[in-house]
Amino acid sequence: MKIVFIGAGNLATCVSLEMQRAGMTISQICSRTRDSAESLAKKLNCQWTTNINEIIPDADLYIFSLKDTALPEVIAKVKPNDGMWVHTAGSVPMQVFEGHAERYGVFYPLQTFSKKRRVKLDQIPIFLEVNNPEDLKMLRKIAIALSGNAVELDSEKRRFLHLAAVYACNFTNHMYLLASKILDEQSISYDVLLPLIVETAQKLVDVPPAEAQTGPAVRFDKEIMDKQIAMLKDPGMQTIYRLISQNIYKEKLQHEQY
């Protein structure tokens, strides 16, 4: 099987390398910039190009791993072929391929990726969608080889999955950034938070989020909360503190009703 990646960002880098480790052949990388295309192609020992017109026409699978806003424009520029086209976006419907490819779908690994960090795909759910049921077998085989966890999910439900992931991952990471700023101002190493962060995540394996919540907001300890808000110099961080604290307490009250 020949696989072509259109895009060489975080997800494309991690997934293509894991595919190679699983014995799959990546035939070509196409990226907007030479540096990213050439760098990833060297790791994969495959062809690379920055010219969409030079994408090989006889691959079995074309994986579009691009920014959501770039997908329609790039898809429209790729010459039609007999291969299957899939994208890796959480909030873009598979119908973005309509009129450009006969066989198409979605290959969406639910994980956060960074080029500088290897991410093992073992047990990571990979969500699949196809316009032709016959192609599901091929995508499922690839997903199982990478993670052992392939899930069929339509575009509408995947939008909400992506939204949930933004809360669970992207917003949470932003909180780590804000926490690091607070510590930096006091010359305290961010490393002291790492055991707390790890335990918070690991606890959720055994305890539902509603039961795992701790801290002054869940008790609505107004005296502590007011003091901590006053300690924050940034009005934006004060607003975030208030809104999240209010929502934590609201969720606690709702949970107690059940």
Complete domains list, the chain, with CATH: 2-153 (3.40.50.720), 158-256 (1.10.1040.20)
> Is the pLDDT at 141 greater than 80, yes or no?
yes
Bridge partners, residue 106, by sequence: 87, 129
Q: Please report which confidence band the pLDDT of residue 96 belongs to, taking 50, 70 and 90 as the band edges.
A: very high
What would the pLDDT profile of 4-41 be if each residue is shown by its tens digit?
999 999 999 999 999 999 999 999 999 999 999 999 99
> Is the pLDDT at 257 greater than 80, yes or no?
no
Is there a contact between 13 and 26 (Cβ–Cβ < 8 Å)? no
Structure confidence at residue 258 (pLDDT): 61
Q: Please report which confidence band the pLDDT of residue 255 belongs to, taking 50, 70 and 90 as the band edges.
A: confident
Reading the block at residue 94, the tokens are: 């598979």
Structure confidence at residue 254 (pLDDT): 85
What would the pLDDT profile of 221-240 be if each residue is shown by its tens digit?
999 999 999 999 999 999 99
Find the DSSP H helices in 147-193: 155-165, 172-185
Q: Is 215 helix (H, G, I), strand (E, B) or coil?
A: coil
Is there a contact between 56 and 75 (Cβ–Cβ < 8 Å)? no
Sorted by sequence, the CB contacts under 8 Å of residue 256 that are 6+ apart come out as: none
Please give the sequence-ordered ranges of beta strands (E in DSSP) within the chain, or none if there are none: 2-6, 25-30, 47-49, 61-64, 84-87, 104-109, 126-130, 150-152
CA–CA distance, 228 with 206 (Å, rounded to integer) = 30
